[in-house]
Structure 1
Amino acid sequence: MIIDGMGDRPLKELGYKTPLEAAKTPNMDKMAKMGINGIMDPIKPGIRAGSDTSHISILGYDPYQVYTGRGPFEAAGVGVDVMPGDIAFRCNFSTADANGTITDRRAGRIRNGTEEIAKTINSMDIDENVEIIFKESTGHRAVLVLRGNGLSDNVSDADPKHEGKPPKEVLPLDNTEEAKKTADVLNRFIEESYNMLKDHPVNLKRIEKGKNPANIIIPRGAGAVPHVQPFGEKYGLKAACIAETGLIKGIGKIAGMDLVDIDGATGGVDTNIENIKKGIMETASKDYEFMLINIDGADEAGHDGEMDDKVKFIEKVDDVVGEMMQIDDLYFILTADHSTPISVMDHTGDPVPIVIKGPEVRVDDVEEFNERAATKGGLCRIRGRNLMDILMDLMNKSTKFGA
């Protein structure tokens, strides 16, 4: 179970505790007492891991070999059948003013109406030799796939990263005609998206209600579809993936895991925790040998700088942890994919806490689950890529190295 962005830094407002330290987490603390604890660098010390690269690493793949960009995973996760040669992008529904300045990168955390907007975008015709495939994901997220000959994923992002700036001009990152063509298509796509969406019925209704319109599409994370050894083939385990966002679902899908959809899972602090809990327990009762679970709200709160929301969300997740601890005879690993400190409002390279509970683990003396208490645990400090090896060894499914 990966609580996305749960790691943090001490905050003065919390008496120099982290949100995880300040939250009331009796079940996580109980798990710490029953398990072996440590801290984990998702990639390696000091590296600011993305949710995609960290999950790839935690699943035992080398992100420096497998990762081609965020787009292909996001596209696969929302149900687009990506093909060799496709160039995929992760996108934001965003808000721009009449001067083209981005005033809200997430369009007011839009939740409804994105399907209608996506239908409009799919009618766009920029280049007769390039097919545009656009699909909404959860919330403000979406995916764009460009399909056609002579395209390249070696192009820059359009995301300005901060409000108050226009979309960045997409640039070719090499001198090939393919990269130049792709950059040109993307720049025209962004401009045309605003023209098509500024007076869209969904946006006019949002404006009437005082909400930010989703009137421009900002692509980022270009990538070609990677070749990945299926998880089941790599480890001999039948696996399921329960995740809220298209990105993590896509990682599970490309790795060959069965996807479990959860109704009401938004990827935000407003997600339906009860449905997630129910979905986890139902999946655990089936014949899967491995489950990858990602719960995302703490990361959203971190990115938004909402300290109280992060504390409260961690407390909600603690209830899910308590439910899972009722299941006997399994190895339960609880950790995060990266830190998203409230003070930074972005990912950092700070290590995250981790605990493993299960048969015959060497229980240590740690009594609380948080960033600092975990440093005293028996796992010490590991990297994400070590985790599956540790798990396979605990399950007595690893092979001996040497005589």
Structure 2
Amino acid sequence: MKAVIFVIDGLGDRPNSEGNTPLKEAKTPTMDRLAKEGINGLMNSVDIGIRPGSDTAHLALLGYDPKINYTGRGPFEASGVGLDVKPGDVAFRCNFSTVDENFIVQDRRAGRIEDTSELEKLIDGIEIDGVKIIFKESGGYRAALMLRGEGLSDKISDADPKKIGLKVKEIKPLDETPEAKKTAEIMNKLIKIVYDKLDKHPVNVERKEKGLFAANIILPRGVGEVPHIVPFEEKYGLRGACIAGTGLIKGIAKMVNLDVIEVEGATGDAFSNFDNKAKALIKAINDYDFVLVNVKGADEAGHDGHYDVKKEVIEKIDVMLEQVFKEIDRNEVYFVITGDHSTPIEEKDHSADPLPLILWGKSVRVDEVDKFDEYTAHKGGLCWIKGLHIMPILMDLMGLAKKYGA
């Protein structure tokens, strides 16, 4: 038996004035059929009442307790952009940003600059107090940064003030250890060095001349020490893969040693190539024991407050699933469909609202649910579970769970 966890990023929502959600209103004949043929329930990926990030949610869905395995988003971003992360490294996600001579933030995304490859070269390889700086741009204004050396700590604050018109924050140690103090000092030195290198670089001189925001500083945030994580195959005995369009999810997959399958046109937005993702999934099911799939577009629409776009993305995903289910056999594959978190239109951010979940495959106890949405799922036989429960349930159905007790 094979297993798939199919994550519709940001799937859940709250009712609008008419009592509808994008999922409830969307035309989803494939997901409705799978709900009717499977067992259903509600799920909170991390815990009831907890607003999960996509990182903590996906760790939980893969059976890794985020309270143990999550140190911050930085390591997963760094892994996702292709950096060779090692336990003990301290990693950050960064924005190329614009500041004036007093370090007052003028634009947090440097005018959404598209190409920072020349600027990356000025930062990668810097050494400060015996600590090596490893830096890689990850498309547009985004980048990942790692510190590698002795005596480092992730117990430090961020530099990003999160709003324009405010001064870049001084990074401070969050505990009294010499490691935290040293790391904070290195990062403060680095930010100033980077400003001196970038502000007068020809790329930024030209941008200023054109009236564009200069990418003259980096704002690190989301710090975390690269954790020691048991590889997925060692944990479960399953050879696994991941299909995703965003660097963060790819980074999580790489951190747990899932093979990342690159899909042409998989952009992580509403215009992602769903057809190519479907074809890649069909092939991956044949090649691997387990596949994690993340489809991102509904989450982007939720963050932007675009109800109709979110509904349309969900309908595109349903067509994608129709293509997949023409090629798979319920006697060979267990298939979970859910989200990682809700991204309500009214919030434009993640929320703790529970998510609908379908488990489809051989020998599941089919319930009376016949529609996939936030309103109907609570009637299902799975009742209300957490993300950490999914992998144990799958392992049991696949006949791979170890007996607890005599």
TM-score, with structure 1 as normaliser:
0.89
Deviation of the 1:139 alpha carbon: 5.1
The residue aligned with 1:26 is 29
**Helix, strand or coil: the match of 1:11?**
coil
Q: 1:67 to 1:354 in 2, by over 3 A?
A: same
2:96 is aligned with 1:93: yes
Once the two structures are superposed, the pairs formed by residues 243-282 of structure 1 within 5 Å of their partners are 243-282=244-283
Q: 1:107 to 1:392 in 2, by over 3 A?
A: farther
Deviation of the 1:164 alpha carbon: 4.9
2:395 is aligned with 1:389: no
Q: Deviations over 1:13-33 (max 9, x none)?
A: xx3322222333222222222
2:294 is aligned with 1:301: no
**Helix, strand or coil: the match of 2:302?**
helix
Once the two structures are superposed, the pairs formed by residues 366-381 of structure 1 within 5 Å of their partners are 366-381=369-384
- Say whether the 8 Å CA contact 2:88–2:227 is kept in structure 1: no
**Helix, strand or coil: the match of 2:333?**
coil
Deviation of the 1:87 alpha carbon: 0.8
Once the two structures are superposed, the pairs formed by residues 146-165 of structure 1 within 5 Å of their partners are 146-165=147-166
Q: Deviations over 1:192-238 (max 9, x none)?
A: 44444456565677778887664432211212221111111111111
Counterpart residue identity of residue 8, structure 1? D
Count of residues in Structure 1 that have an aligned counterpart in Structure 2: 398
The residue aligned with 1:359 is 362
Output the aligned Cα RMSD: 2.6
Q: 1:194 to 1:16 in 2, by over 3 A?
A: farther
In 1, the alpha carbon distance for the partners of 2:257 and 2:38 equals 30
The residue aligned with 1:115 is 117
- Say whether the 8 Å CA contact 1:271–1:297 is kept in structure 2: yes
The residue aligned with 2:312 is 312
The residue aligned with 1:145 is 146
- Say whether the 8 Å CA contact 1:155–1:173 is kept in structure 2: yes
26-35 or 382-391, which moves further after superposition?
26-35
Structure 2: gaps of 5 or more residues: 1-5
Once the two structures are superposed, the pairs formed by residues 188-267 of structure 1 within 5 Å of their partners are 188-198=189-199, 214-267=215-268
231-240 or 200-209, which moves further after superposition?
200-209
Q: 1:215 to 1:388 in 2, by over 3 A?
A: same
TM-score, with structure 2 as normaliser:
0.88
The residue aligned with 2:8 is 3
Deviation of the 1:177 alpha carbon: 2.4
In 1, the alpha carbon distance for the partners of 2:140 and 2:266 equals 10
Q: 1:331 to 1:104 in 2, by over 3 A?
A: farther
- Say whether the 8 Å CA contact 1:90–1:220 is kept in structure 2: yes
Counterpart residue identity of residue 286, structure 2? S
202-211 or 93-102, which moves further after superposition?
202-211
Q: 1:214 to 1:390 in 2, by over 3 A?
A: farther
Deviation of the 1:133 alpha carbon: 0.8
In 2, the alpha carbon distance for the partners of 1:100 and 1:236 equals 51
Q: 1:16 to 1:99 in 2, by over 3 A?
A: farther
Deviation of the 1:291 alpha carbon: 0.3
Deviation of the 1:85 alpha carbon: 2.9
Counterpart residue identity of residue 305, structure 1? G
Identity of aligned residues (%): 56
In 2, the alpha carbon distance for the partners of 1:266 and 1:212 equals 25
Once the two structures are superposed, the pairs formed by residues 333-348 of structure 1 within 5 Å of their partners are 333-348=336-351
2:51 is aligned with 1:36: no
Question: Of 73, 77, 82, which residue of structure 1 is paired with 2:80?
Answer: 77
- Say whether the 8 Å CA contact 1:138–1:267 is kept in structure 2: no
Deviation of the 1:103 alpha carbon: 5.3
Q: Deviations over 1:317-347 (max 9, x none)?
A: 2222222222113111111111122222222
Counterpart residue identity of residue 371, structure 1? E
In 1, the alpha carbon distance for the partners of 2:42 and 2:230 equals 28
